[in-house]
Amino acid sequence: MQLATQVEPTFGGLAFRPETKRAIRALGWTQPTPIQTRVIPVMISGKDVVGQAQTGSGKTGAFAIPLVERLNATVRTLQGLVLVPTRELAIQVTDEIRALGRESGFRVVTLFGGQSIERQFAELRRYPQIAVATPGRLLDHVQRGTVKLGGATMVILDEGDRMLDMGFLPDVSRILSQTPSSRQTALFSATMPTAIHAIAKQQMRDPVWVRIATPTPTVETVEQFYLEVAEEDKVRALRSLLNKEEIDSALVFRRTKHRADRLARALRSDRRVGVLHGGMRQGARLQALRAFEEKRTPILIATNLASRGLDLPEISHVINFDMPEDVETYIHRVGRTARMGRAGTAITFVGQFDLEIFDQLKRNLGSSLKRHPLNLYS
């Protein structure tokens, strides 16, 4: 006889409203991830928090659950604001907040550049309680008077380091200056450069710091290979891998959008291949993402755009066609596979110009980085 297991998932014993509990259950989440365990109680208590965590850690849920728990869905004012660096992340974060807050009756608006501002006006007229926005477009709305931030009592800065890299900090500061000084602020960032510490100091009140060890790809979860291949033979090597490896879905990283396009052209005859980079129009990017998610094009050639922030489930392979710029980028890219405990394979091409970074990689990863058995030159 089998004993009945827990009837009601407790989600770490955290006490939520019934609507939130049901939403969590509907998402199939039974246990909070480490960042959720640590961040949710702090945010629900109203304190500021700085969380060092990567995409894949469940950090969106860590702030989305407190948003829908603390804000009031019956009031028709914008109370929650999430600032994100990219459109893709904006869409993903919106989806997750919507899923968690729908039953409570929250309206969530997404505001990013490249999308018709009229459509955004229309959504704003429906009085959303929560906005997920990229900084530039949000400022545009604030200046037009179509978004008022005077009621924003909870503000989340997601992927702070990436917003910093993209030059959004002045915009972020201007946005924060429009919000009440009594607001609660949460800042999430994968890395903590000095400028991020400075924001925490200037813009936050006595924040609680939560650091979740970087989910560095480990030998148990990701098999990491390198493959020495001359620049001019890389396409041949990739074709060979794509035919030999058992690929469920793969991200193939290139350093620039032009190189990504060039590789996509070279592989045009392979119908499994799609491409995604920042130079594409918004509609085309979303189409590429969708085709990849639905496995119509299970092999996606991408720039670093896809290495952070995007929640692409179930990637079996990460192929670094171009060597990542540094070890951190490598970790981000490889972190796209083997997420939430799934197994994955990472293969990094080492060309004749990549030896310096390859040395650094070997020093950081040690014996977990193995030579790939493929031999092009025998």
Chain positions contacting ligand AMP, by CB under 6 A: 29, 31-33, 36, 55-61, 311, 340
DSSP letter string, 52-74: E--TTSSHHHHHHHHHHHHS-TT
- Please tell me the distance from the alpha carbon of residue 205 to that of residue 155, in angstroms, as a whole number: 13
Question: Tokens 């704003």 appear where?
Answer: 124
User: What letter does residue 368 receive in the DSSP assignment?
Assistant: G
Least CB distance to ligand AMP at residue 79 (A): 21
Of the pair 61, 135, the CB lying nearest ligand AMP is at: 61
Q: Write the CB contacts of 333 (distance below 8 Å, at least 6 apart in sequence).
A: 251, 253, 304, 307, 318, 320, 324, 346
Least CB distance to ligand AMP at residue 36 (A): 6
Least CB distance to ligand AMP at residue 330 (A): 19
Helix (H, G, I), strand (E, B), or coil: what is residue 265? helix
Of the pair 245, 311, the CB lying nearest ligand AMP is at: 311
Least CB distance to ligand AMP at residue 340 (A): 5
Of the pair 6, 378, the CB lying nearest ligand AMP is at: 6
Strands 299-302, 273-276: parallel, antiparallel or unpaired by DSSP?
parallel
Least CB distance to ligand AMP at residue 31 (A): 6
Of the pair 57, 120, the CB lying nearest ligand AMP is at: 57
Strands 130-133, 108-111: parallel, antiparallel or unpaired by DSSP?
parallel
User: What letter does residue 294 receive in the DSSP assignment?
Assistant: T
Of the pair 12, 167, the CB lying nearest ligand AMP is at: 12
- Please tell me the distance from the alpha carbon of residue 59 to that of residue 40, in angstroms, as a whole number: 10
Least CB distance to ligand AMP at residue 96 (A): 6
Q: How many other C-beta atoms are found inside a 10 Å radius of the C-beta of residue 343? A: 11
- Please tell me the distance from the alpha carbon of residue 245 to that of residue 302, in angstroms, as a whole number: 19
Of the pair 32, 207, the CB lying nearest ligand AMP is at: 32
Least CB distance to ligand AMP at residue 32 (A): 5
Longest CA–CA span in the chain (Å) reads 70
Q: CA torsion sign, 45 to 46 to 50 to 52?
A: positive
Of the pair 123, 314, the CB lying nearest ligand AMP is at: 314
Of the pair 57, 129, the CB lying nearest ligand AMP is at: 57
- Please tell me the distance from the alpha carbon of residue 323 to that of residue 21, in angstroms, as a whole number: 44
Question: Which of 137, 129, 103, 125 has its CA nearest to residue 23?
Answer: 103
Q: CA torsion sign, 277 to 278 to 284 to 286?
A: positive
Least CB distance to ligand AMP at residue 333 (A): 15
Of the pair 100, 267, the CB lying nearest ligand AMP is at: 100
